[in-house]
Chains A and B, each alone.
Chain A
Amino acid sequence: METETTSQNRGFLRVLWQTIGVPIGAIVLALLFGVIILLISGANPLNAYAALFQGAFGNSTAFVRTLEKATPLIFSGLALTIGFKAGMFNIGAQGQLIMGAMAAAFIGFAVEGLPWYIHAPLALIGGALTGALFGMIPGVLKAFTGAHEVITTIMLNYIAINITDWLVGGPLQDRTTEILLPRTPRIFETAMLTQRRLVDQGIIYIILAAIVVFIVVYSIKKWMDWKEAGNDVRSFFTAYRSQFLLMLLPIFLLGLYILDFLHIGFLIAVIAAFILWWMLERTTIGFEIRVVGTNIHAARYAGIRVALIMILTMFLAGLMAGLGGAVETTGVDMRYEPGFNIGLGFDGITVSLLGKMHPLGTIPAAILVGAMKAGANTMQFQAGIPAEIIDVIQSLMLFFVAAEMIVRYVLRMRKDGTEISLTSGWTK
């Protein structure tokens, strides 16, 4: 018995290393290179990183700020990830996000007199759908003309910036202040995703109770199946361990939320990630998307309607990004004001690749990048280092994670099993 559990533990560790080894290695390497750059520019790396950490995790405000920054990153990451699964490089997450944010702001300030349980969800749905429709454009172009989505999505990013700039400077501008600023009016309170609402209304406790009940019932059922199949007690715990831990996660998150440690947008993002994961792994549609991304010829052979899948995938990607924008508007900004870093969706790429192109992987990856962004201001303030160092470190992380993944892919293709088959070249 003992040798069994130790070898199982060792196997568990090895699997753990295989999954997160590459991203962790990339992060460490990038941070090391960051030290070099800081030294070149005459800064003190220790101060810099300390201030960075302080700004991200130093206290509960910092922690909430980190999660707040992480939220749109999760959505962007998901928008990229689902694109990758179908073999498409969706750099347009930024543009789709902006359009969603804009739409949510519009619904938020233009409509009056709705109760909160309609207004807020409406803003979110409106934002998500706007992003989805905007994201569909490159999908349609690719499916019917073979236009490479890298160019079309980047172009659409710029177009989105232009459209939203025009809207906030023109028809949708806030006229209530003396000095006219290029931004929309504030959204109504009923459209906001305020922290305490769900808690105050007691709803959160009902949800919590429902989850606990579900876990208990599910566990009992699993236990009874196990016994019926004639297996013994101890192996049940080892087999069931990981599933159980996964199910505790929602309780953990809700707990944090109640304790005011969480931003509700983050919660929505996590739920979205889980739903996307379930869809990709367990449904026929998810299977079709993945086959199109892995071997488009076999997909056609299997009777999958490839054009439809491409369009659907970009729709879903835009949906995620649009939802992210809507969450930003209704949960943080309370209006739409241009000022998004024109990162052109690069953040989403980093998060998606650090998360190994897995929906659940985007969560820790987004927390990491969000932490860097949250800490950057503190670092600039406290240690006097320009916040752009974050961009540099981020691009290094991207480089290392992509390089390592590809190198391993080339060398150990047989063992890995998950293929990254991004489109290359300009033709279909």
Chain B
Amino acid sequence: MTQVLTFVRSRQGKTVIGFFAAVVVIAMFYAAQPQVTQAVLSSTIRHSTPLILGALCGLLCERSGIINIGIEGQMLMGAFMGYMVNVWTGNLILAVLASMITGALLGLLLAYMSISLKLNQVIGGTVLNILAVGLTGYFYMVGLTTAGKLTTFPLGPLAKIPLVGPVLFNNGLITYLAFVLVFVLQIVIYHTRWGLRTRAVGEHPHAADTLGINVIANRYINTMIGGSIAGLAGGFLTLESVGSFERMMTNGRGFIALAVMIFGNWKPFGAWGAALLFGFAIAMQTQLNFMGINIPHQFVGMLPYLLTIVVVAGIVGRARPPAAEGVPFEKE
């Protein structure tokens, strides 16, 4: 009995219970209103995708010791470049790659500022953001047309399962990529050489250094890969979700992604759960309007931002970021 109680009180216990509770609630809603439930859940997935990708980017960078405030900028530039390549070539795969490369390049810039110039990383990220807003605003021209966007494609028989099928298994390429990346990153961080070394670099870079690990290279590479994931998040917006570009369309998602990362305790699966939660909050905004509930839409629109503040204020004290993050590495 005591073993059961300990489990229930533990963090894993609470997650498992929460998960089952959610399943039960969803099932109940589905029984009552199948269409609405499905719509809300699909919407949740759609809204959570850029968030989980952004959070994975932040997570990778921070695990190796670099705080990335510039996720917003990387998303925006990725969205823009993906869009432009789509306009120029009509080749969606190329466009997706373009958005990832853009993100990686911005990641390189952030890495350069943080590692080689030893700039304060928050300022560095802010520079990225302003640069992205400026460049995308300047080079954007209204009235361009694209060949189309990434359509959803069902994953065979899995898509036929009621509720779960259409929601999880009938999505676009980038959404599937996001699912896959969560698993990939979980394995890489905890079960590969690279992951072990990255974590060491983020916790105690000098220990890694004296064992012959190249701290600088590790940070550069992780920041660039993270950047490409953030760029992918931007690509999702213009290539799969909305289909076109708009100035400042990221609208703070990059920052919400940071809250998702913290809420998920810098772990890929944790971040996924948090992203779904936030995605749900955003999805509710449109849903409440449809349901005719008479709350001014701005109040519901504030929900994700308020939730972020609550998370950051409530969780941070108890969560544990990588110990050496934010501190430029200097040989002793």
Contacts and interface: CB of A to CB of B under 8 A. Distances in A.
B16 to A, nearest CB: 27
B67 A145 contact: no
The dominant DSSP class at the A interface is: helix
Interface string A141-166: 10001111011101110110011011
Highest count of chain A CB atoms <10 Å: which of B131, B259, B262, B305? B305
Interface residues of B, number: 48
A102 interface: no
Highest count of chain A CB atoms <10 Å: which of B126, B251, B308, B321? B126
Interface in B282-332: 296, 298-299, 301-302, 305-306, 308-309, 312-314, 316-317, 319, 321, 325-327
B296 A166 contact: yes
Contacts of A146: 316-317
Interface string B111-154: 00100011111111011011101110111000000000000000
Nearest to B314: A145
Interface in A164-190: 165-166, 169-170
A308 interface: no
A62 interface: no
B67 to A, nearest CB: 7
Contacts of A420: 120
B13 interface: no
Nearest to B109: A399
B82 to A, nearest CB: 19
Given A147-B313, A406-B118, A424-B120, A398 B308 contact: no
Contacts of B313: 141, 145, 147, 152
A395 B262 CA distance: 28
B75 interface: no
Contacts of B127: 395, 398-399, 402
Contacts of A425: 67, 321, 325-327
B317 A391 contact: no
Highest count of chain A CB atoms <10 Å: which of B135, B313, B321? B313
Contacts of B123: 349, 353, 398, 402, 406, 422
Interface string B90-121: 00000000000000000000000100011111
A388 to B, nearest CB: 4
Contacts of A353: 123
B60 interface: no
A134 interface: no
A152 B307 CA distance: 11
Given A152-B312, A152-B313, A388-B138, A403 B119 contact: yes
Interface in A326-352: 342-344, 346, 349-350
A425 B298 CA distance: 31
B65 to A, nearest CB: 10
B252 A158 contact: yes
B255 interface: yes
B266 to A, nearest CB: 10
A166 B299 contact: yes
B126 A422 contact: no
A81 to B, nearest CB: 14
A26 to B, nearest CB: 12
The dominant DSSP class at the B interface is: helix
Contacts of B173: none
A391 B138 contact: yes
B258 interface: yes
B298 A162 contact: yes
A318 to B, nearest CB: 16
A408 B119 CA distance: 11
Nearest to A390: B134
B248 interface: yes
B318 to A, nearest CB: 10
Interface size of A as a range: 35 or more
A343 B326 CA distance: 25
A392 interface: yes
A313 interface: no
Given A147-B309, A158-B305, A391 B262 contact: no
Contacts of B120: 402, 406, 420, 422, 424
Highest count of chain B CB atoms <10 Å: which of A166, A392, A396? A392
A159 B305 contact: yes
Contacts of A423: 122
B130 A155 contact: no
A91 B312 CA distance: 16
Interface in A285-342: 342
A258 interface: no
B122 A424 contact: yes
Given A41-B138, A156-B309, A422-B122, A406 B117 contact: yes
B327 A424 contact: yes
A256 interface: no
Interface of A: 37, 41, 89, 91, 141, 145-148, 150-152, 154-156, 158-159, 162-163, 165-166, 169-170, 342-344, 346, 349-350, 353, 386, 388-396, 398-399, 402-403, 406-407, 410, 420, 422-427
20 contacts: A145-B313, A145-B314, A146-B317, A151-B258, A151-B308, A152-B313, A346-B133, A389-B134, A391-B133, A391-B137, A392-B134, A398-B126, A398-B127, A399-B127, A402-B124, A403-B113, A406-B119, A410-B118, A424-B327, A426-B312
7 nearest CB pairs, A to B = A391-B134, A424-B326, A395-B130, A388-B137, A392-B134, A388-B138, A147-B313
Interface of B: 67, 69, 113, 117-124, 126-127, 129-131, 133-135, 137-139, 248, 251-252, 255, 258-259, 262, 296, 298-299, 301-302, 305-306, 308-309, 312-314, 316-317, 319, 321, 325-327
